[in-house]
Amino acid sequence: MILPIVAYGTPVLKKEAKNITQDYPELDQFISNMWETMYEANGVGLAAPQVGVGIRLFVVDATPFAEDEELSEQEKEQLRGFKKVFINPELEESGEEWAFNEGCLSIPEVREDIYRQEKIHITYFDENLKEHQETFTGLPARVIQHEYDHIEGILFTDKLSPLKKRLIKGKLNNIAKGNIQVDYKMRFPLASKKR
């Protein structure tokens, strides 16, 4: 089932999400809905708060990045197989910061260069609630950091300079009101009732 993605300005996007317990109801169904929703919107990652659910869960499929001609065969291969569910993750970051032009399904038509550290170490549970500890660099790390921020209640636009924030304020207000064209199902916090 495709779930509506909540837009910038929706309170759940600003809240720290909660860990789930092993008996979380209908987890398999929820994860399957997350995949369906993400693919329908052509995203490479989707976090539970983006569909209005305040739990520490996100899904990532970095396969589309593997088409980038500038990458080495080894990097492409790494991205192709990169499809994972992260539940109750804990993240540690290290290394130099590098910039990448990020976007977000909750903030359509806004893209900005965001600096993040290059290396991450993450502990998480997969869809079978099996625990993993892994280290990532490059684009896989980048996508995970963006999604992890979502479950911490942080959006990539929160990381912009005060000037940049001021420059895109009008755009963000329009997104919250639903005054944008978007080709996937969304819910806007400040939309007028008749929408």
Contact 145, 115 (CB under 8 A): no
Give the binding-site size for Ni ion (rule: CB under 5 A). 1
Give whichever of 38 and 87 is closer to Ni ion, judged by the CB atom: 38
DSSP annotation of 120 reads E
CA 179 and chain centroid, separation: 22
Q: Which stretch in 6-14, 82-90, 102-110, 133-141 sits in contact with Ni ion by CB under 5 A?
A: 102-110
| 147 catalytically annotated | yes
d(CA 105, CA 186): 9
Q: List helix spans (H) across the chain.
A: 27-40, 73-80, 138-151, 162-177
Q: Which stretch in 68-76, 96-104, 134-142, 183-191 sits in contact with Ni ion by CB under 5 A?
A: 96-104
CB of 179 to Ni ion, least distance (A): 20
Q: Which residue in 6, 60, 104, 186 binds Ni ion (CB under 5 A)?
A: 104
What amino acid positions are annotated as catalytic residues? 147
**Contact residues for Ni ion, defined by CB under 5 A:** 104
